[in-house]
Chains A and B, each alone.
Chain A
Amino acid sequence: MSSLTEKDRPIVQLLLSAGTCPRCIFRFCRVGSQTLYRHPYKDLMKDLKQFLEGNQEEEDRACFDVADPPCKRFRHGHTEEGADDLNQNGVLSQIPLANDGNADVENSDVENSAVEVCNVCLGILQEFCEIDFVKKMCEKVNSSDFQFTSFVFSVSLPPQLSVREHAAWLLVKQEMGKLDLSLAKDDIVQLKEAYKWIIHPQLSEELGVPTDGKSLFEVSVVFAHPETDEECRFLATVCPDCFKPAKNKQSVFTRMAVIKALEKIKEEDFLKHFPCPPSSPKNLCVALEIQCNNGAVFVAGRYNKYSRNLPQTPWIIDGERKLESSVEELISEHLMAEFKADSFNFSSSGREDVDVRTLGNGRPFAIELVNPHRIHFTAEEMKGFQQTINNSSDKIQVRDLQLVTREAIGRMKEGEEEKTKTYSALIWTDKTIQKEHIAFLDDIKELKLDQKTPLRVLHRRPLALRCRIIHTMKSQYIDEHHFRLHLKTQAGTYIKEFVHGDFGRTKPNIGSLLNRTTDILELDVESVDIDWPPALEN
């Protein structure tokens, strides 16, 4: 027990008799040796008791002192604090009572050596450090069937643990004050930290992979302690501004709100409402859930869309599906199965209407696979997935399918506004046309458009007047009422509206340029000029 020194003796005595577990006692004694926390619980208890018995006589005397005239001693240590004196007296007189109450429990504990639930950690640093619980976590991880090479362990503690920790801190601080020593809250070893010190090597051993703070694979455990759930309540009456209800919050007593309130609350107010030391609970915490989560992986590529009846994303109006499939589903379905992911998020560099085809090199896209169970695939395997997707549908084709980083996806979105796109449009005119009527379009360069938000999207977009540029046009005469127009435009230009004019809301438009009523019959995207993701060899 080399880590504890003589000056820790009164703290050990005080906490042990209050029903605090050995590891929590170490924390309050600022023991920083990780290995010490990992010793078997029974050994730690035995060692602590030996540490105290090593000076049995002194200890007895100390006990007498506390039990007999406690106020004098404490007052002595705090005379310089002046104004706080009275309050502290009132509070400190409670301590002997609490001690007396727990003294019996402690004695019986020595005799039957049953593990009493710690009044500070509520069992976290007791039962939940045992190999049985570690094995339970491992079973959960193994049955979840994830691919991983390291893990990060996270713990969620019930908020009332912070309240109990606060009470124990005040108690120890006062005890140390007697020796003219101080104890800042930060000096205490955090419960979570100590818990991880104990769990990490065991879990690592059982899972056969190292822990890594940056690992994408997370094993998390959520603890609750229903018996003491009410213990945060008083904070809301003392610090109401820390507990404002918000949507998406089940309870206002979140861990962060409780910690904030504990920072604000005055010591005397706290002690008026909460027993110090905290009472001994009947039950251990319960592990509400043990969860595994793998960080998202990203797959990118380019797609072609050959159908005029296929939306990019599911088209649902009033809860009813308009068309049975979509580009994102045709691509993601197979990847979801291979990566065994929970869900996906599809994004792309712009989008085309349901009746528009995307030809040429296709449109860049990226898919975020959420919580994938499989993450390691070779380039060869990715190529296989691409082949499967392409074999499964005539409506779309995919190329350059590859794993990418989250950061790289930014490049796709950057290009969205500034890059150019080329289109091919089949146009109808009301009055007849000859080749020479449309030839002049080829000579127009950098045509500036004033485009109001099209009526067809106005219900879900703000009304705005945007300036867009048609860089070049090339016409191809078909017959007296039809021609094809190839356009190179700034991204974000609405092509259909440029052709039919949208009630004169896009100016100029093909109709106004030709002095005819014009309409668009077919539209194809010929290229999306972004060089991402990188082309792969076939």
Chain B
Amino acid sequence: MAAAEALGAARYFTRWYKADVKGRPCEDFCVLQHSNRICVITLAEAHPLLQPGKTITSINYQISPNCSRLQNKVSGKSKRGAQFLTELAPLCRIASSDGEEYTIYSFIRGRLIEVNENILSNPALLQEKPSTEGYIAVVLPKFEESKSVTQGLLTPEEYKEVLLKRQNSSSGS
């Protein structure tokens, strides 16, 4: 599935990864950055939510009593009114049937352009097509930060090594 998905809309984007976010094992994310600096936030293939047997029970964009990502409204070319996100701003929380709850972060400093409302009505999208139709949100970094926002993230090759190490250590123990 993941290999086939590499084509399609996502082929115009550069991939950046972050592994074990906030020290939580295997909570990996993938940012797809277009050459026009637009970033799409997605779950990486290794994320616990994408493992066989997981069932998503809820997706919540209300990240605090006063802040819902669904309230985000942008207008005009300059995207006025967008919520501004720092690297560790939460985008949503996703609960699974085994009682776990996962927080999805932005990873990218920038303006929140849109969140994916399609996964609310069809959570299966998130698991079936995590890097295309199951995306979490679209973020637009500041023009002057369009290069620096991905600093500290892993390239696909670096991420592959992380996955390999993970595999070795788990098979070794």
Contacts and interface: CB of A to CB of B under 8 A. Distances in A.
B79 interface: yes
A504 B10 CA distance: 11
Interface in B11-29: 11-12
B36 A502 contact: no
A517 B77 contact: no
A459 B34 CA distance: 10
Instruction: Categorize the interface residue count of chain A.
Output: 20 to 34
A452 B38 CA distance: 15
A428 B9 CA distance: 12
A463 B4 CA distance: 29
- Give the bracket for the number of chain B residues in contact with chain A: 20 to 34
Contacts of B4: 430, 517
A511 B10 CA distance: 14
B14 to A, nearest CB: 13
Interface stretch (B45-53, B63-71, B95-103, B132-140): B132-140
Contacts of A430: 4-5, 7-8
Contacts of B37: 459
A460 interface: yes
B76 interface: yes
Q: Is the contact region of chain A dominated by helix, strand, or loop, or is it mixed?
A: loop
Given A463-B79, A503-B40, A517-B5, A455 B11 contact: no
Contacts of B34: 455-456, 459
A358 interface: no
Contacts of A455: 9, 34, 38, 40, 138
Interface string B129-150: 1001101001010000000000
Contacts of A460: 36, 77
A460 B36 CA distance: 9
A519 interface: yes
A444 interface: no
Contacts of A482: none
Contacts of B118: 504
Interface in A511-526: 511, 517-519
B133 A501 contact: yes
A465 to B, nearest CB: 10
B30 interface: no
Contacts of A497: 9
A456 B132 CA distance: 14
21 contacts: A428-B7, A430-B4, A430-B5, A430-B8, A455-B38, A456-B36, A458-B38, A459-B38, A462-B79, A463-B74, A463-B113, A463-B114, A501-B132, A503-B116, A504-B116, A504-B118, A517-B4, A517-B5, A517-B8, A518-B8, A519-B11
Interface of A: 428, 430, 452, 455-463, 497, 500-504, 511, 517-519
